[in-house]
Amino acid sequence: MKKDLILKTIFRILTYSTFLATIGIFLVVIIDGARYFSIDFFIKYPSNAMTEGGVFPAIVGSLILISLGIIFSVPLGIIMGIFLSEYDTLFFIKPIDVALTSLSGIPSIVYGLFGLSLFCIRMNLGTSLISASLTLSLMTLPVIASSVKEAVKAVPVELREAAYALGCNKTEVISKVLLKAAKNRIITSALIGSGRIFGETAPIILTGAVFFSTHLPKSFLDPVMALPSHIYYASMAYGESAQWMAKASSALLLIIVLIIYSIAFTMRRGKIGLDNRGK
Amino acid sequence: MYRELKYLLNTITIFAVATLSIVILTLIFIFMISESLPALKSVGSEIFTSFNWYPTYDDAEYGLLTMIVDSFLLTFLTSLVVIPLGYIVSAYLYAYANLREKEIVRSVLDLLSGVPSVVIGSVVLIYIAPVLITFEIWSTENLLLTIIGLTILSLPYVVSLTYESFESVDKVLFESALALGSSRFSALFIVITRAALPGILNAFILTVNRIMGETMVVLMVSGNANIIPKSLFDPLRTLTSAIASEMGEVELGSLHYSVLFVAGLILLIISLILTWISKSIQRSWKH
Amino acid sequence: MDWIIEVNNLSAFYGEKIALKNINIKFPKKVITAIIGPSGCGKSTLVRCLNRINDEIPNFKVTGEIYFKGKNIYDPDIDISEFRKNVGMVFQKPTVFPMSIYDNVAFGPRIHGIKDKRKLDLIVEKALRDAALWDEVKDELKKTATQLSGGQQQRLCIARAIAVEPEVLLLDEPTSALDPIATKKIEFLLEELSEKYTIIIVTHNLAQAIRISDYMAFLYRGDLIEFGETSKIVNQPESELTEAYLNGQIS
Ligand SMILES: Nc1ncnc2c1ncn2[C@@H]1O[C@H](COP(=O)(O)OP(=O)(O)O)[C@@H](O)[C@H]1O
Ligand SMILES: [Mg+2]
């Protein structure tokens, strides 16, 4: 059909050009930024107003943030997801579901404000590692919970019934059968959550990130440097001579996040991992 | 005995954690409101009616209206670009693309959805803004660049959601339309779009919510000037970027601090309204 | 005798898997031909080739030819929209569009360029009358079609298909989702329609095939085992396989 041929061509051009442009941009970021990678870049502190040195403390800071963030959000997210999937006949599932959906729509900057007022000020934790990672984990909680819910829901009913038939009670079915059967997709959820934590900037500049630090955090109450906030400061606050720093850090952050996401989505498609049920 | 105890404990744990979501939402509300109260009390309605934002002057003014207008304006303009573009890309994928194209584009979308917004901000700043200079446009932080950044950010999101709602319609409806001699486009545009309407509207609302709440891209490339832009090359400032850029410098507990919480409260309420709309669209279509 | 569709050496594949093996068949004009056979034997695949709707399935391939009134429908030059207009199709589950009854029936004519409201009104009324649905819905044409009962929906799909005045009507198990009363109505309707249209119906229900069809094609594991007049096949099947199927030994 002629109409289809014309539209197909136009739509294809639009689709291809947006995609190639977007991919092109990110390739440029990685290629252009990776030119500045060196041993020093990974093991040194930034110096001379961000124009020299490396991002060692930012990398370490981000790794600590992500680890703490996961410790809080992953277990809670998994339990919430299981609740939403397995107890969905209860009357108060609805307010909980609504609350979680609302939480997942709240802008990250609002989480930042909340973290600032609750953790930093009210709980007197100050601008610190612990405030930032608590804020990040609150923010990721609904993301993890809703994808765990989908994962657990996807486990075939027969598996549950077989377990009940063997005399398992509900929590045993959950811990012995469902969690194992949905393991891959739960790991995917956790990975997506951590990818999100790793790149999030707005909440941590309010609650725990500093633009410069001469030492690694000595306690949970110390503020940290983190990779995303470092990119922000390096691209905004300093001139041309710090631009390489912003480029290299962006490339690094992008590579790390893309790796996390690739693993996550490859696992979801069942290309690696143990349980290939479902098909 | 031990087994029953364990069952009881586990069940209690699950219920306790689940209720945590309500607790968190309530806490967010309480804290946002209580931190906003000082400003709402002592500055009053001026916050919402004044365009003037001079929080650090002796004779301080705390009008958020410019930023409110800018937030809506930016969201509106970006949606105008990203929603039709997202619809077209999804339409291409659904009605025309072959299996290979579908797979490649969808995997790329999955990956792009994870690109942190701070990276997009720095991309626009470092790589795209200089392009404008070659067109003799000297403001390298402006509305146009912000729209570009937000488009890159939200396109994967809107395409995934829209495409998924197309896919959720039974394929046989598409075939029925084709069997009547309809073009693929009409089959998609008239039949599938209508059948998938709640999902599509939901996708659009979630995208709007995302754009409205985005901070880093706006903070980095909007120019952060408290004016309402008159052209694409003017700078602007949204509620989100105002909070992010000024919170670091305010005196804790001051009026300035409190007004920034009012800005956050506005964002919170907008996002809750959008979530509520999205939920009720889905609900009304189920019956 | 006249035929309208001629299938020549048609083989069909889903990826590597073969679904139809070298089928040769000529569908006669203005009669009901039933395609029967155990499930998975390729009945749907065959009818879905006849209007090329199986092109929609990724990795689906055919070899051989299908001629519609002497033209090869797999010819790359063919205007697929114009061709499909001549070969209507009704699916297993009713596939009403999420719009009003009127708009459902008017969908085809509108696609093919009829804009005039009065003309559309006439077409819609005629199609609904032909599909024996007019009396039931004439007062609520604006009602959303999904509110109709299953049997009414299926008749609406038939009305929608005949509103573009096709020559052939393909039906893939159109009554398998319906109750016996609705099924009877559709069977009756098809017999009426066969005076004007060539009807090719896939059915899993042997009694139904015998009741309504003039010709019968029996498929087994992708092969066309037997094709001929229904009365002849029922009384004196040539193949033992057909006989076994008719006796209920294969299903
Ligand atoms: N979309 C498809 N993908 C792969 N194989 C299919 C598909 N549709 C049908 N088949 C296979 O082709 C064969 C014929 O199917 P079909 O024509 O639907 O049979 P029938 O309609 O007689 O039940 C079956 O073995 C079936 O499994
Ligand atoms: Mg079939």
Using a CB–CB cutoff of 8 Å, tell me whether B27 touches chain A. yes
Determine contact, residues B34/B26, Cβ cutoff 8 Å: no
Is C44 part of any domain? yes
Residue A234, pLDDT above cutoff 70: yes
Q: Does C77 touch chain A (CB under 8 A)?
A: no
Per-residue pLDDT at B284: 79
Residue B172 contacts C where some CB pair is shorter than 8 Å? yes
Determine the distance separating the centroid of ligand 1 and the alpha carbon of C76, expressed in angstroms: 25
Asked if A101's CB is within 8 angstroms of B117's CB, the reply is no
- The pLDDT score that the predictor gives to residue C134 is 94
The model's confidence at residue A275, banded by pLDDT at 50, 70 and 90, is very low
Measured between beta carbons, the chain C residues lying within 8 angstroms of B190 are: 97, 107
Of B100, B94, B88, B82, the C-alpha closest to B166 is B94
Ligand 1 pocket residue status of C43, Cβ below 6 Å:
yes
B194 near C CB under 8 A:
yes
Tokens of A198: 């790793």
Mean pLDDT on B83-92: 96
Q: How far apart are CA B104 and CA A102, in angstroms?
A: 32
Share of chain B above pLDDT 70, in %: 99
Integer CA distances (angstroms), A90 to A85, A87, A111, in order: 11, 6, 29
Closest Cα partner for C143 from C90, C95, C103, C93? Answer: C103
Ligand 1 mean position, distance from CA C41 (Å) = 7
- Return the number of other C-beta atoms located less than 10 Å from residue A223's C-beta: 20
In angstroms, what is the span from residue C178 Cα to ligand 1's centroid? 22
Beta-carbon contacts of residue C125 (< 8 Å; ≥ 6 apart): C134, C138
Q: How far is CA B162 from CA B206, C86, C220, in A?
A: 11, 33, 42
Q: What is the average per-residue pLDDT within A212-236?
A: 84
CA–CA distance, C130 with A86 (Å, rounded to integer): 51
Instruction: Check if the beta carbon of residue A29 is closer than 8 Å to that of residue A254.
Output: yes
Domain A35-268 belongs in CATH node 1.10.340.30: no
- Name the residue at shortest CA distance from atom 14 of ligand 1: C42
Give the model's pLDDT for residue B274: 96
CB–CB contact C53 B178 (8 Å):
yes
Considering only residues B175 and A184, tell me which one the structure prediction assigns the higher pLDDT. B175
Distance separating alpha carbons of residues C126 and C162, to the nearest angstrom? 9
Query: The complex's ipTM?
Result: 0.94
User: Are the C-beta atoms of C67 and C8 separated by less than 8 Å?
Assistant: yes
Nearest to B180, CA basis, from C20, C173, C134, C114: C114
C56-65 per-position pLDDT tens digit: 998 999 999 9
Q: Which residue of A has its CA nearest to C80?
A: A1
Question: Nearest Cβ partner of B18 from A96, A170, A195?
Answer: A96
Stretch A78-84: mean pLDDT, rounded?
93
Mean pLDDT of all residues belonging to chain C:
93
Give the number of the ligand closest to the Cα of residue C54.
1
Q: What is the Cα–Cα distance from A99 to B276, expressed in whole angstroms?
A: 11
CB spacing of A261 vs B111 below 8 angstroms: yes
Mean pLDDT of C199-228: 94
Specify the higher pLDDT residue, B10 or C48: C48
Q: Which of C16, C44, C60, C204 to mutate to test the pocket of ligand 1 (most atoms within 8 A of CB)?
A: C44
pLDDT of res. A273: 41
Closest residue to atom 17 of ligand 1, CA basis? C42
C129 is a domain residue: no
* Residues near C240 by beta carbon (within 8 Å), at least 6 away in sequence: none
| pLDDT (average), residues C40-61 | 94
Average pLDDT of the segment spanning C180-207? 92
Domain that holds residue C51: 3-99+145-246
Q: Which ligand has its closest atom nearest to the C-alpha of C19? A: 1
- Residue that has been written with the tokens 């364990």 in this structure: B6
What the block records as the tokens of B95 is: 């009605």
Task: State the pLDDT at residue A272.
Answer: 44
Tokens of A8: 């197909």
The predicted structure's pLDDT at residue C2: 85
Does the pLDDT of residue B270 top 90, yes or no? yes
Total number of domains constituting chain C = 1
Closest residue in B to C84 (Cα–Cα): B181
Task: Return the closest-CA partner of residue C176 out of C239, C100, C93, C110.
Answer: C93
Helix axis angle, A243-268 relative to A227-236, nearest 10°? 150
pLDDT of B168:
93
DSSP class per residue in A208-244: TB-S--SS--SSTTS-B--HHHHHHHHHHTS-GGGHH
Give yes or no for a contact between B73 and B236, defined as CB atoms under 8 angstroms apart: yes
Mean pLDDT along residues A73-80: 93
C41 close to ligand 1 (CB < 6 Angstrom): yes
State residue A160's pLDDT score. Answer: 86
| In contact, A11 and B192? CB cutoff 8 Å | no
Specify the 3-state DSSP secondary structure of A52: strand
Confidence of residue A93 (pLDDT cuts 50, 70, 90): confident
**Does a structural domain hold residue C135?**
no
Interface touch A105/B119, C-beta < 8 Å: no
Please tell me if the CB atom of residue C14 comes closer than 6 angstroms to any atom of ligand 1. Answer: yes
- Does residue A277 register a pLDDT over 50? no
Is the C-beta atom of C40 inside 6 A of ligand 1?
A: yes
Please classify residue C155 by burial: count the beta carbons closer than 10 Å to its beta carbon, then call 0-12 exposed, 13-18 middle and 19+ buried.
buried
In angstroms, what is the span from residue C37 Cα to ligand 1's centroid? Answer: 13
pLDDT tens by residue, A132-161: 999 999 999 999 999 999 999 988 888 888
CATH number where C34 lies? 3.40.50.300
What the block records as the tokens of B269 is 């309420």
CB contact under 8 A, B213 and A108: yes
Nearest CB to B176; choose among C58, C91, C99: C91
Say yes or no: B192 contacts chain A, CB-CB below 8 A: no
User: Choosing among C52, C77, C81, which should be mutated to test the A contact, i.e. which has the most A CBs within 10 A?
Assistant: C81
C54 CB neighbour count, 10 Å cutoff = 20
Cβ–ligand 1 distance for C10 under 6 Å, the answer no
C45-55: average pLDDT: 95
Confirm or reject contact between A145 and chain B (CB < 8 A). yes
Q: Is C79 on the interface with A (CB under 8 A)?
A: yes
For residues B68 and B63, give the distance between their C-alpha atoms in angstroms, rounded to a whole number. Answer: 10
What is the structure's pLDDT at A279? 33
pLDDT at A276 (0 to 100): 41
| pTM reported for the whole predicted model | 0.92
Task: Indicate the helix (H) or strand (E) that contains A47.
Answer: strand A46-47
A235 and B121 within 8 Å at the Cβ level: the answer is yes
Phi and psi of A89, rounded to 5°? Answer: -95, -10
Q: Check whether A163 has a pLDDT greater than 60.
A: yes
The answer to whether B65 touches B73, Cβ cutoff 8 Å, is no
* Ligand 1 atom showing the smallest separation from residue C46 Cα: 17
- Residue A117, pLDDT above cutoff 60: yes
Q: What is the pLDDT of residue B6?
A: 85
Ligand 1 atom with minimal separation from the C172 CA: 21
Q: What is the pLDDT of residue A65?
A: 92
- Contact flag B119-A231 (C-beta cutoff 8 Å): yes
Q: What is the pLDDT of residues B105-138, one digit of tens each?
A: 988 988 888 899 999 999 999 999 888 878 877 7
Check residue B11 and give its pLDDT. 87
CA of C33 to the centre of ligand 2 (A): 16
Q: Where are the domains of chain A?
A: 35-268
Mean pLDDT of A180-206: 91
- Residue C162: band (very low, low, confident or very high) from pLDDT cuts 50, 70, 90: very high
3-class secondary structure per residue, chain C = CCEEEEEEEEEEEECCEEEEEEEEEEEECCCEEEEECCCCCCHHHHHHHHCCHHHHCCCEEEEEEEEECCEECCCCCCCHHHHHHHEEEECCCCCCCCCEHHHHHHHHHHHCCCCCHHHHHHHHHHHHHHCCCHHHHCCCCCCEHHHCCHHHHHHHHHHHHHCCCCCEEEEECCCCCCCHHHHHHHHHHHHHHCCCCEEEEECCCHHHHHHHCCEEEEEECCEEEEEEEHHHHHHCCCCHHHHHHHCCCCC
- Expressed in angstroms and rounded, the spacing between residue C38 Cα and the centre of ligand 2 is 9
A162 to chain B, any CB pair closer than 8 A? The answer is no
Is C86 part of a structural domain of the chain? yes
Does C47 contact ligand 1 (Cβ within 6 A)? Answer: no
pLDDT computed for residue A238 by the predictor:
66
The C-alpha angle A169, A171, A172, rounded to 5 degrees, equals 65
Kind and range of the H or E element at B53?
strand B53-54
In a domain, C164, yes or no: yes
pLDDT, tens only, A19-58: 999 999 999 999 999 999 988 888 888 777 667 778 898 9
